[in-house]
């Protein structure tokens, strides 16, 4: 059981954006200097990791949530709504800079994925945000492959394998049922394509 908990923490949704951007800088040619890349990485880390973490700590302190697992739909609503705003603002900021449009696309895609999840709350459906994030990660690198006519098959295979491991972990921890897992991954996977073809 500890192994499954470690997997859930290592592949937590607030960690995946930073990993995705690190890989982006390693694989995609860009005009940014090392200081600009570092500054952008810090911005993304603060926005997608530190701020959400601070929000969860604050919410636990004022008893809006019982634990950091945020297991119920009621507890998830406010954090997800705040994440939608954060990711949209970050995506909007980056997309309007010509050589950062790809990264902006990633955060627009995450915004759309989270909006889907929030809508499903109305139907009392608790989609897996863990699998949503890895679905977005996978879809994003497929979109990059289309954009740059490159083959990122190794990254995609690893992402799919990690998704399977993470799905197994979430099921064994009884955090979600299989339908919530599959739905999360599917919604995440299609989100980058929606942004790519609509923008």
14-39 confidence digits (pLDDT tens): 899 999 999 999 998 888 888 888 99
Confidence of residue 69 (pLDDT cuts 50, 70, 90): low
DSSP-assigned letter for residue 107: H
Residue 169's Cβ-side half-sphere holds a number of Cα atoms within 13 Å equal to 20
Q: Are 181 and 127 in contact (CB under 8 A)?
A: no
Q: What is the domain extent for residue 146? A: 2-198
The stretches of the chain forming alpha helices (DSSP H) are 2-10, 16-27, 34-45, 51-61, 73-95, 101-121, 129-148, 153-172, 178-198
Q: Mean pLDDT of all residues in the chain?
A: 90
Q: How far apart are CA 199 and CA 190, in angstroms?
A: 14
Confidence of residue 98 (pLDDT cuts 50, 70, 90): confident
Q: How far apart are CA 37 and CA 22, in angstroms?
A: 9
Q: How far apart are CA 143 and CA 124, in angstroms?
A: 31
pLDDT digits (tens, 9 = 90+) for 153-168: 999 999 999 999 999 9
Coil, helix or strand for 176? coil
* Domain count within the chain: 1
Confidence of residue 65 (pLDDT cuts 50, 70, 90): confident
Whole-model pTM above 0.85? yes
- Whole-number pLDDT of residue 199: 75
Coil, helix or strand for 72? coil
């Amino acid at each position: 059981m500890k192994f499954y908990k470690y997997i859930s923490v290592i592949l937590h949704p607030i960690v995946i954006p930073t990993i995705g951007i690190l890989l982006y800088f390693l694989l995609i040619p860009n005009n940014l200097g090392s200081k600009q890349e570092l500054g952008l990485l810090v911005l993304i880390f603060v926005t997608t990791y530190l701020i959400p973490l601070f929000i969860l700590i604050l919410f636990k302190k004022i008893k809006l949530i019982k634990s950091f697992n945020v297991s119920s739909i009621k507890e998830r609503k406010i954090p997800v709504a705040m994440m939608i705003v954060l990711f949209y603002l970050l995506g909007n900021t980056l997309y309007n800079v010509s050589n950062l449009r790809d990264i902006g696309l990633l955060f627009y895609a995450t915004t759309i994925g989270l909006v889907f999840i929030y809508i499903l709350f109305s139907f009392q459906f608790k989609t897996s945000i863990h699998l949503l994030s890895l679905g977005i990660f996978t879809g994003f690198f497929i979109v990059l492959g289309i954009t740059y006519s490159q083959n990122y098959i190794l990254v995609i295979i690893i992402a799919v394998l990690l998704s399977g491991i993470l799905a197994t972990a979430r099921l064994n921890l009884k955090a979600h049922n299989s339908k919530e897992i599959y739905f999360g991954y599917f919604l995440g996977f299609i989100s980058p394509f929606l942004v790519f073809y609509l923008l």
